[in-house]
Amino acid sequence: MRKTQLLLAATLLASSLQASAITVSTTPFDLNASLFPMTTQGQNGINLQWRAGGTGITDGSATYTDLTRIDDYTWGSPGMPWNLPAIALWQNNAIFAHPTSTRNVGLEADPVIRILLGGSGGNLKITGSTGMSGSQDYDYYIYKGANGFASPLWSGGADSSFDLTFAFSDGDELFLATNARSGDTDDWATWLNVKLTGVSLNNNGGGTTVPEPGSLALLGGALALLAGMRRRSS
């Protein structure tokens, strides 16, 4: 009986600590209208970060740093000039992503929307467009995998559209990033109407799900159960 309880507690603990993910399905996910994190990193399978070095790094390594919540739906870099780099959901569900360069902010940094994909695997279709806000002196790129920035699935400038389909497996990560060109003044790049849709999916099964608040209580219960088992066995 004790062994069964310990196994159950361990299973509950592992499930509670499981990384959140978007479970890809044939029903489109709307990044702008429903998925963008309001208060918490990892909410809806998404982390908002910045990547050091711009697109010029080709050594196969990448350094990512979490942005800090400044307000609901607003994420930036406190202590840096103008809190940049930053990502925010603003009016009309536009996602603004401001990159930086060494010219003004003093740091080459690309703001990144990092999406953890879950599900049975297959193909994922991503569609949307880019805006023309501010200086328009910036580029957009979409890539898969933390080190995939040197060979993106798609790249383009302001006022562009994208419609691409690529293979994915459970646990893959998709990145949407912006990069400053010659300067970083008023570089408010915008992602518009971004939708993720599964196509030609494999058999149902696998994948992780976005944890709900109840999973925190589950975690607490699992820890308490483990502690109780430990006391009784000592």
Residues 13-64: tens digit of each pLDDT: 333 334 589 999 999 999 999 999 999 999 999 999 999 864 444 445 678 9
Candidates 232, 214, 231; CA nearest to 12 is 214
**Predicted confidence (pLDDT) at residue 146 exceeds the cutoff of 70:** yes
What's the pLDDT score for residue 53? 62
C-alpha dihedral sign at 76, 63, 172, 162: positive
What's the pLDDT score for residue 204? 52
Q: Which residues are 52's β-sheet partners? A: 109
Mean per-residue pLDDT of the chain:
79
126-156 per-residue burial string, b: 16 or more CB within 10 A, e: under 16? bebbbbebbbbbbbbbbbbeeebbeebbebe
CB 141 within 8 A of CB 177: yes
- What confidence category does residue 164 fall into, taking pLDDT thresholds of 50, 70 and 90? very high
Candidates 146, 57, 58; CA nearest to 108 is 57
Topology of the domain comprising 20-210 = Jelly Rolls (2.60.120)
Please report, for the chain, the start and end positions of each structural domain, with discontinuous segments joined by +.
20-210
Candidates 58, 59, 50; CA nearest to 78 is 50
Query: Measured between alpha carbons, how far is 106 from 156 in angstroms, rounded to an integer?
Result: 24
Distances (CA, A) of 165 to 106, 108, 123, 143, 181: 36, 30, 6, 12, 27
Q: Give the whole-number percent of the chain exceeding pLDDT 70.
A: 69
From first CA to last CA, the distance across the chain in angstroms is 16
Tokens of 169: 């497996």
> Residues in the chain, how many?
234
